[in-house]
Amino acid sequence: MTSKRPPADPDSTIVGVATGTPDGGVAIVRLSGPEARSLVEPLIGTLPAPRLLARRRVLDSSDGSPDDALVVWMPGPRSFTGEDVVELHVHAGARNVGRIVAALQERGARAAGPGEFTRRAFEHGRLSLEQAEGIAALIAARTSAAIDQARRLVAGELGREVEALRSAVGDLRAEIEANLDFPEDVTDGDVSRWREELLRHEATARAWLGSFAAGQRARERARVVIAGPPNAGKSALFNALLGRSRAIVSPTPGTTRDYVEAELELDGLEVVLVDTAGLRQATSDSIEHEGIGRSREQIAGAELVVWLEPADTATADAPPSSGLRVESKRDLGRRRPDWLGVSAQTGEGLAALRSEIAGLVRGDETAPWIGLARHRDRASDAAAAMASASSLLATAAPLELVAFELGVAERQLAEITGRDALGPIGEDVLARIFSQFCIGK
């Protein structure tokens, strides 16, 4: 990181519970700041040597009954926050942990606000902004794909890509600015070279934007809806994919009335699989009619529709134009040779269907860089600034204006990582990001 900013109140030592609820056997009380050592030692005796876990008694009898703890001392700057950090691994339970935190507060520690530990890590240059957001995303991740994406953020993969683009845009701006005083020396060749370079940079940012939708799907479970005519074997396929008998299967058309959903992992991708009532035109049954209405709603809100028709009957209505076409009951025949064929009875084609669904839901993951809306917005603004720099160059506008737009693009990119080469990141941006963290992070 090129420059660092001190925490808002660098002299304060903060305390928070680093472990979450519900309680496990152990809770970790974490202190960070210049007084970490002097606040803790009266409670536990002398700290152990740095980065070694040692057993200590916490609190003496004047504070209530003592607790046994494992203590680790991580003097700054080689700690998570970059400050002096002490962690007390104590017995969990709100009352026990609360009295230890209270004893530390009585001695002068301040209760940490949301995300304050991570914010201090950022302010001391231990983490860039997008890495800090990656930690929050990792903790919030609900699918394995989301974990993978968050891990890549924490590892700094996005940060490196963004920094590379920012410095390339910065080099181009510097070159253009070098010509500001002698615009008559600028040749057509220079201009077309600059435009080419700029188009390449803009394409890089646009590719990140394209990856946002894939990232969104990775974090939220996509809804995969099985639909088709009654008796197609939708419920049987639903059960076969789940590996358990969740929905009722019967030879009576119109068996499934309301939709049924279940969570399912397909090739590492977690989705919500939905079984629906079979679609047909004429039905006097008002419950079935209502069910069909719900099927249509599910289809409309689906990430992917698996359209099912059975191999033993001809297509009645035209199948929907989008979605994955699958022929069921392949054990009974083969009527639509170019459709993916499955049999819930024999298991034929199920593995292929699983990977086909996962592939379609994942989409193009060749550049799964951007997963968070804030990063998408900054990349989008950077791409827009580069686009307007391009058109300024194309219309032979003054080079000052081109350089200005490039500066805007650099600034937008810098806000992704928080590397404040172009001046510090606004307090409003930081406050918004860190307030989304929990206390103790």
Ligand X SMILES: Nc1nc2c(ncn2[C@@H]2O[C@H](COP(=O)(O)OP(=O)(O)OP(=O)(O)O)[C@@H](O)[C@H]2O)c(=O)[nH]1
Does the footprint of ligand X cover residue 236 (CB under 6 A)? Answer: yes
345 binds ligand X (CB under 6 A): yes
Q: Which amino acid is at 172?
A: L
In the complex with ligand X, which residue's Cβ is closer, 357 or 385? 357
332 is an interface residue for ligand X by CB under 6 A? yes
* Alpha carbon 95 to its chain's center: 34
- Known binder of ligand: residue 251? yes
235 annotated as a binding-site residue: yes
Cβ-contact 275, 148 below 8 angstroms? no
Residue 153 or 302: the one with the smaller Cβ distance to ligand X is 302
Which alpha helices (H) appear in 79-154, and where do they start and end? 94-106, 116-123, 129-140, 144-154
Burial track 354-365 (b if 16+ CB lie within 10 A, e otherwise): bebbbeebbbee
d(CA 8, CA 113): 12
Contacts of 354 (CB under 8 A, 6+ apart): 241, 266, 267
- From CA 253, how far away is CA 426, in angstroms rounded? 62
- For 203, what's the count of Cα atoms within 13 Å in the CB-facing half-sphere? 6
Question: Is 254 a binder of ligand X (CB under 6 A)?
Answer: yes
Does the annotation flag 316 for ligand binding?
A: no
Piece of 151-159, 192-200, 212-220, 227-235 that binds ligand X (CB under 6 A)? 227-235
Cis omega (within 30 of 0) for bond into 22: yes
Which residues inside 255-284 make contact with ligand X, applying CB under 6 A? 255-256, 277-278
Angstrom distance (rounded) from CA 64 to CA 49: 27
Q: Does 256 bind Mg ion (CB under 5 A)?
A: yes
Q: Is 255 annotated as a binding residue?
A: yes
| CA gap 33, 380 in Å, rounded | 38
Q: How far is the CB of 273 from ligand X (least distance, A)?
A: 13
Is 234 among the annotated ligand-binding positions? no
Secondary structure (3-state) at 378: helix
Q: Which three-class secondary structure state does DSSP give residue 273?
A: strand
Given 32, 143, 235, 390, the residue binding ligand X (CB under 6 A): 235
- Identified binder of ligand X from the candidate list 231, 298, 390, 417, rule CB under 6 A: 231
| 3-class SS shares of the chain: helix, strand, coil, % to 5 | 45, 15, 40
Q: Is 114 in the site for ligand X (CB under 6 A)?
A: no
Neighbouring CB atoms inside 10 A of 412's CB total 23
Q: Is 253 among the residues that bind ligand X (CB under 6 A)? A: yes
Does the protein bind Mg ion through residue 295 (CB under 5 A)?
no
Question: What DSSP string runs through 203-250?
Answer: HHHHHHHHHHHHHHHHHSPEEEEEE-STTSSHHHHHHHHHTS--S---
Cβ-based nearer residue to ligand X, 69 or 344? 344
Stretch of 117-125, 195-203, 296-304, 342-350 contacting ligand X, by CB under 6 A = 342-350
Binding track, positions 31-70, relative to ligand X; x by CB under 6 A: ----------------------------------------
Q: Return the one option of ligand X, Mg ion, none that residue 438 interacts with (CB less than 5 to 8 A, by type).
A: none
Nearer to Mg ion, 13 or 298 (CB): 298
CB under 6 A: which stretch of 70-78, 323-331, 380-388, 415-423 binds ligand X? 323-331
Question: Of 224 and 399, which CB lies nearer to ligand X in the complex structure?
Answer: 224
Which residue, 36 or 344, is less far from ligand X as judged by CB? 344
Applying CB under 6 A, which of residues 89, 124, 173, 329 lies at the interface with ligand X?
329
Q: What is the DSSP letter of 320?
A: P
The residue ranges that bind Mg ion (CB under 5 A) are 234-235, 255-256
Q: Which residues are annotated as a binding site?
A: 30, 87, 126, 235, 250-256, 275-278, 441
Q: Which residues are annotated as a binding site for Mg(2+)?
A: 235, 256
The residue ranges that bind ligand X (CB under 6 A) are 230-236, 249-251, 253-256, 277-278, 328-329, 331-332, 343-345
